[in-house]
Structure 1
Amino acid sequence: MRTEVVGAGGVRIGVRVEGNESAPAIVFVHGWAQSARVWDQQFADPELRRGFRLVAMDLRGHGQSDVPAGGYDDPLVWAGDLGAVLGIAGEPAVVVGWSYGGLVIADYLRVHGTRGIAGVVLAGAITEIGNGHPGGVVGSAMREALPGVLSDELDVALPALGKLCDGMASKPVPGPLAQALLGTSLAVPPHVRAGLFRRDVDSADVLASVDVPALVVHGTEDAVVDITSGEYAAGKIPGAESRWWPGVGHLPFVEAAREFNATLARFAGERAGEARTER
């Protein structure tokens, strides 16, 4: 089912909702220049569908969300958008952030703390951005793609985005998926792709203040977000669990879907059990 919520500044945020409507929610936040469709293998997983309400947002400027002219550098905006999505999730939800989605979660935590959040999962994620910030170190595939992926010119952006999508997985992915990744990136307007990079964010204090369970998963072969970004988040968040998956690149929920889904189901199930005990 597709629906929408009203985010910061009245921007309409597209939301994908499936699974068990009466179960605890898992909210998925995708990465830069992608969409809620990246979570297809999680939305198709029988255990996740049976045990949880699955909610995936399209970031503003992406997928089926509105495309405002600005706001992409404002933590209050990202916090407002994610807050609106959490509002339809019901009880405190486990939030999963991939790549740039981890920074969106950090923005929410910066503004609202862990209100409405039962647990945090960071998957191949950044939590900071800008030069010198250890929580935002990118890998070779992203370094080589910049600044071309931000260009207005198709003959510059297309090959750069193609190389970036090729570099997302540690091994070649099926052709339809590769084309879907590239097509989704191209569908995000250049001013949006560039706007998300016009930030300088330190999240050390934000991560250190997280008071709900957290899980950091990262592929050892991630060439888009360097594994040191995941190690930084895991080291800053009190009591965070970590999983470093050998041979996996920037798409752990695709490349190691079965293991990712089982790990997520266990983590989210434990959070739901804790919530019932607290009642």
Structure 2
Amino acid sequence: MSHRIEVEKGVSLFVEDIGEGQPVIFIHGWPVNHRMFEYQINEIVNLGYRFIGIDLRGYGQSDKPWSGYDYNRKADDVKAVIDQLGLENAVLAGFSMGGPVALRYMARHQQHGITKLMLLAPAAPRFTKTDDFPYGIEAKEIDGMIESIQKDRPAFLEEFGGMFFHQEQSDAFKHWFGTLGLQASAHGTIHSAEALRDEDGRGDLEHVTVPVLLLHGTNDEICPIDFSEYLQSHLKDAQLVKFEESGHGLVFEETEKLNAEILQFLRT
């Protein structure tokens, strides 16, 4: 089953809704969509959980307005989906950019409806370096990425996809993965990159009191594992599982281990 959920006047999100039982809400990373989780859907649904996959505004099959790509608005969009589907006792999972969006949701909406949080290779608490946050990349590197997107978005996505993985992927897989990024709007991709460059989610962490599972590849070249180590030390109840054979794309590179860790967390 799928839904179109209006999150503000004139803007609707596409939401995949499969299975029954406790809801597990997945928020994808930049610049793809919920279909990146296809290797988690079967496992979760087969074991009695309800998969909720959200295409954020600007991505996948959701509407692509010009504005609304800051973390506050994206968190409000998630709230609208949760409310309109009547989701309770849910687990919220955020991958990469979806990580800081999930954390902002927890802080901004008082963890409404959420009993557990999973962060997969999160781009959190912030993506770029500052004087008091030494992890991540320089803000000017995001500016270079935006310039590349404006010049040749397909070429940029192909290059970015190459950074995504530690293990070699088939040509067919790389083509499929690239199509996920091309389904996004150019302006949504750029405005989300600006949010990744500028947003700071460190203030969100003190508001998270539910159990948190952190899953992160040790060879991640996009979101260094320093991010999850920082989160583990600043969240009240967080466990970190490292994936030694993965880069940023741990959901594809160590799928069996990742799914097992997710299911163990769901059952506890």
TM-score (norm 1): 0.86
**Residue 273 of structure 1 aligns with which residue?**
none
SS, match of residue 164 in structure 2: coil
Amino acid at match of 2:88: E
Deviation at 1:229, TM superposition (A): 1.2
**Equivalent pair of 1:92/1:115 in contact (CA under 8 Å):** no
The 1:136–1:228 alpha-carbon spacing in structure 2 relative to 1, beyond 3 Å, is same
Q: What's 1:275 paired with?
A: none
**Paired residue for 2:240, among 242, 245, 248?**
242
Cα distance in structure 2, aligned partners of 1:33 and 1:63:
9
Hey, what's the Cα distance between the residues in 1 that align with 2:86 and 2:69?
Answer: 24
Determine the C-alpha separation between the residues in 2 that align with 1:231 and 1:268.
Answer: 22
Q: Could you list the per-position Cα deviations for residues 253-279 of structure 1 after superposition, in whole angstroms to 9, with x for gaps in the alignment?
A: 111111111111111122xxxxxxxxx
- Secondary structure of the corresponding residue to residue 44 of structure 1: helix
CA RMSD of aligned residues (A): 2.3
2:120 aligned with 1:137, yes or no? no
Q: Matched residues in 1 for 2:201 and 2:165: separation? A: 27
Map 1:146-165; keep pairs closer than 5 Å. Answer: 146-147=144-145, 151-154=149-152, 157-165=153-161
Aligned to 2:6: 6
Residues 1:170 and 1:178: Cα distance change in structure 2 (over 3 Å)? same
TM-score with structure 2 setting the length: 0.89
Q: Distance in 1 between matches of 2:151 and 2:234?
A: 40
Say if 2:41 is the partner of 1:52: no
Separation in structure 1 between the aligned mates of residue 81 and residue 169 of structure 2, nearest angstrom = 30
C-alpha contact 1:62 1:188 (8 A) present in aligned 2 = yes
The 5 A counterparts of 1:57-206 are 57-73=54-70, 75-87=71-83, 88=85, 90-127=87-124, 128-132=126-130, 134=133, 137-138=136-137, 146-147=144-145, 151-154=149-152, 157-199=153-195, 200-206=198-204
SS state of the match for residue 54, structure 1? strand
1:215 matched to 2:213? The reply is: yes
Match of 2:259, SS state, is helix
Stretches of 4+ aligned residues off by more than 6 angstroms: none
How many residues get paired? 262
Q: What pairs with 1:26-45 in structure 2 (closer than 5 Å)?
A: 26-45=24-43
Gap runs ≥5 in structure 1: 271-279
